[in-house]
Amino acid sequence: MVHVLTRGGNVGLAQAGLTGPVVVTLTWTPAPGVDADLSAFLTTGAGKVRSDDDFVFYNQPSAAGGAVRHLGRSARGGATVDQVRIDPAALPPDVEKVVIGASLDGAGTFGGLSGLAVEVGPEGGPAAVRCELAAGPETALVFAEVYRRGPEWKVRAVGQGFTNGLAGMATDVGVSVDDEPAPAAPQAAAPPPAAPPVSTPPVSTEKRRLVDLEKKLATTAPQMLSLVKTAGVSLEKRGLGEHTARVALVLDISGSMAALYRAGAVQRLAERVLALGLRFDDDGVVDVFLFGKHVHRPEPGLRLEGHQQYIADLTQQYRLEYDTRYGAAMAAVRAAYFGDSRERVEPQPAQVPVYVMFLTDGAPSDKSVATRQIRSASFEPVFWQFMGIGPERQFSFLQRLDDLEGRYTDNADFFAVAQDDLMGRRPISDDALFDRLMTEYPDWLRRARDRGLLLR
């Protein structure tokens, strides 16, 4: 028997035959450009979360030691389902309610989604409770809540809507959400128009991800939060505030780099590249490639967890080598992202661009190979940011790559810094470094779209 609840209706879990963990399932049929994301909030008797850790969603998939766990989205026939598992017996005594809601991913309203339904059932079993709710102009909606009433756990159909999306729903239960900046006062003369944004993902999705990222960093890695915010300022100036890209860090491990690794210069740069990776990349991982005589790809890549010791751990695992082969490293990067490193004469488009930070302290031994690689890579949506550590005069080859003719599109930039710029008494500031890393990338993105290298 399925218990059908309308708005405000409730039923005991035991009465519905649910005596263990339950799975709450949201079902809908996506509309063009509109999708939904399920969330859960663990609240006290006052109806508020104890902290932001009580917010369960796709990027923070569990709370209370796993008592509430986001199971993710999947397809079911022509519909989409998003699920959360709740184990009432495992919830802390001060959690009296689990609020189940969803917000829209993309433009539109919940009224524009068909087949909208919420079901509650046992793990792996059929629905025992179904909540039937009407939707209209809402962009976020609380569908149901699993709550404690004395010794009993019950489920209620709610139907509380919000027209200000996830922020409104989350704020209602006490999750802190960064305020939007206030609109500027009117000026006598309108400022010149900003550069057109080059970001491509839906604003609501990416903005929410960045808010969630900053909340996580505030408690787990405050120093990295500062770098991510500094990177964000540089990106916003260039219309890249909500841009998505894959990020790679290519590191020279030739013997001449030894002093730079010991001094911490490479670690400092790696942390700045990680800040870009956390801003740009959905999975928050920077893919790492090492090159000397050979090319290596350490797994896992550079990520927030363990980032402070990442370079030190690499140098323990990989010995410095006696050669410097740019071309081999570039071939490995191209093969990793585009399937092979062969010479190309036609565009190879993709959905998401790749930003490559390439660090070295000298010229390569395979110049002809590197030249062919950068020319072939110009047919792919990959941008090469070369950075030399040392006097600029010793990087004439990188300057030639930067200015190389015969490419499908200009796909590289180069600048040099001294070791003192990274680790000296007055090092280059983080905002200045991020500005240099973004000098040519925005213009390359526009060219790449114009030339059909990017599909969105």
The answer on pLDDT for 76 being more than 50 is yes
CB 296 within 8 A of CB 289: yes
Give the CATH superfamily of 223-450.
von Willebrand factor, type A domain (3.40.50.410)
d(C-alpha 398, C-alpha 408), whole Å:
18
pLDDT the model gives residue 361: 94
How much of the chain, in percent, has pLDDT values that exceed 90?
A: 51
Task: Please state the pTM of the whole predicted model.
Answer: 0.57
Rounded to the nearest 10°, the torsion over CA 208, 210, 229, 392 is: -140
Pairing of strands 62-63, 129-131: unpaired
pLDDT the model gives residue 205: 62
Tell me the HSE value of 358 on the side-chain side, using a 13 A CA sphere: 34
pLDDT the model gives residue 106: 65
233-275 tens-digit pLDDT = 888 888 888 888 999 999 999 999 999 999 889 998 999 999 9
d(C-alpha 321, C-alpha 392), whole Å:
23
CB 224 within 8 A of CB 304: yes
Q: What are the residue ranges of helices labelled H in 264-363?
A: 265-280, 310-317, 326-338
pLDDT band at 455 (very low <50, low <70, confident <90, very high): confident
d(C-alpha 382, C-alpha 411), whole Å:
7
Domain segments of the chain: what residues? 3-172, 223-450
More confident site: 70 or 209: 70
pLDDT the model gives residue 295: 96
Which residues pair with residue 79 across a beta bridge?
A: 76
More confident site: 6 or 248: 248
pLDDT band at 200 (very low <50, low <70, confident <90, very high): very low
pLDDT band at 183 (very low <50, low <70, confident <90, very high): very low
Element (H, E) at 151: none
pLDDT band at 184 (very low <50, low <70, confident <90, very high): very low
Rounded to the nearest 10°, the torsion over CA 199, 384, 337, 272 is: -70
308-357 tens-digit pLDDT = 899 999 999 999 999 999 999 999 999 999 999 999 999 999 989 999 99
Would you say domain 3-172 falls under CATH 3.40.50.970? no
